[in-house]
Amino acid sequence: MIKICSRELPVDIVFHPDWWHKNAGISFDEGFFYDPRRRVEDERKMEQVLYERFGSLGLGEDHLKNLPQIGAVHLASGYLLSEMLGCKVEYYDDAPPQVICAHRESLDFEVEDAFQSRAFRRLVGLVDELKAKYGYVVGDINWGGVLNLAIDVRGEEIFTDMVMEPEKAAVFFGKIAQVIDKFVWYVQTNTGSSSISVNRSARLFDYPVAIHSECSHTMISEEDYRRFFLSIDKEWSMRHAPYGIHYCGKDPHRMASAFSEIERLTFLDVGWGGDVALLRKYLPETFFNIRLNPVDIQRYSYEELRQCIRERVEASGGDLTRTGLCCVNMDKTVTDKRIFEIYEVAESLRNNDD
């Protein structure tokens, strides 16, 4: 399996929109996502704020560049594919876009309809405008995941469908997978990456990783995963290498045995509370991106922070080129001091300090 990271214990932080609204004055209205001028200006402003506050940590490295980013690479926010599949999206000044469930009555739809939607056409227009001005585009857009999108489109009824009409549900999931697959290839063909917007840690790797979001898999059993989704992950791991799974729930270890059957699972986002040691037993070669809980770590003393990070990194097996740390959606209450402390703990682990 390819080793995707030559760095030791890479670390990254993603701030919640309310942090950006407070500290950079950025509003996350529709224009932030689709106005080509603001795409460039707001992303550079975000880089500048990161550089001014945390430049010594390596953040804000692009603060001097006007990069034609097609998507919001500083946010953890999936919305566009849901809109392409018929959901409404509401925008806010200090929060990520909110997807409104479409409650689709039928499990049947045509894959190409998603690419004829106003949402996708608007993206294409943005890409074309940025290319016309800059000659190229970079970045990507959070593409979510099969079950995540199915819930957005169908609502909680999808779980009844999985029991009462499993064959139709499987076809429905397959069509959503086709939409995702085509979308990812469109983005990656234009920019060279697909998943910085899924997890910013992806930008730290030696190779661009495709990361499938499985946030909602905490709601299903391992048996359901094997029945409906494992085959998709297996196929994508061969076609989108290097391939990864984002599992932000507290129980990714429930799927450890099934994940071990994915031949090229190069990356795993390990949700806070996941049994890292058990996962490592099943996935000895996979890069583990260990997620820190953005609420809990603000309550910890420095020693508690140090201990919890050390324990989880040690449970990953000791190879710091196969282990990373991230904390996503740190809100406006987090102190700069706490950010520096997270990086300080990581550095002490790299140096093997007691």
Q: Has this prediction a pTM greater than 0.85?
A: yes
- Which of 148, 274, 139, 198 shows the shortest CA–CA distance to 12? 198
DSSP output for 224-248: HHHHHTHHHHHHHHHHSSSEEEEE-
342, 343, 344, 347: CA torsion to nearest 10: 130
The enclosing H or E element of 267 equals strand 265-270
Query: What is residue 120's predicted lDDT score, i.e. its pLDDT?
Result: 97
Query: What is residue 207's predicted lDDT score, i.e. its pLDDT?
Result: 83
Q: Which domains does the chain have, with CATH numbers?
A: 11-350 (3.20.20.210)
Query: What is residue 297's predicted lDDT score, i.e. its pLDDT?
Result: 87
Q: How far, in Å, CA of 229 to CA of 93, rounded?
A: 35
- Which of 140, 26, 138, 129 shows the shortest CA–CA distance to 80? 140
Instruction: Please work out, in degrees rounded to the nearest 5, the angle formed at the alpha carbon of residue 112 by the alpha carbons of 190 and 231.
Output: 80
Contact between 75 and 197 under an 8 Å Cβ cutoff? The reply is yes
Contact between 170 and 49 under an 8 Å Cβ cutoff? The reply is no
Query: Percentage helix, strand, coil, to 5, in the chain?
Result: 50, 10, 35
Q: How far, in Å, CA of 193 to CA of 312, rounded?
A: 29
DSSP class of residue 194? Answer: S
User: In 68-100, which positions are buried (b, 16+ CB within 10 angstroms) versus exposed (e)?
Assistant: bbbbbbbbbbbbbbbbbbbbebebeebebbebe
Contact between 90 and 107 under an 8 Å Cβ cutoff? The reply is no
Instruction: Please work out, in degrees rounded to the nearest 5, the angle formed at the alpha carbon of residue 59 by the alpha carbons of 8 and 61.
Output: 105
Q: How far, in Å, CA of 332 to CA of 354, rounded?
A: 32
Q: What is the pLDDT along the chain (354 residues), one digit of tens a residue?
A: 677 888 899 999 999 999 999 999 999 999 999 999 999 999 999 999 999 999 999 999 999 999 999 999 998 888 999 999 999 999 999 999 999 999 999 999 999 999 999 999 999 999 999 999 999 999 999 999 999 999 999 999 999 999 999 999 999 999 999 999 999 999 999 999 999 889 888 888 888 899 999 999 999 999 999 999 999 999 999 989 899 999 999 999 999 999 999 999 999 999 998 999 999 999 999 999 999 999 888 899 999 999 999 999 999 998 899 999 999 999 999 999 999 999 999 999 999 876
181, 244, 221, 81: CA torsion to nearest 10: -30
Query: What is residue 248's predicted lDDT score, i.e. its pLDDT?
Result: 92
Q: How far, in Å, CA of 17 to CA of 95, rounded?
A: 5
Within 73-110, where are the H helices?
80-84
**Would you say how long the chain is, in residues?**
354
CA atoms within 13 Å, Cβ hemisphere of 134: 21
Query: What is residue 354's predicted lDDT score, i.e. its pLDDT?
Result: 61
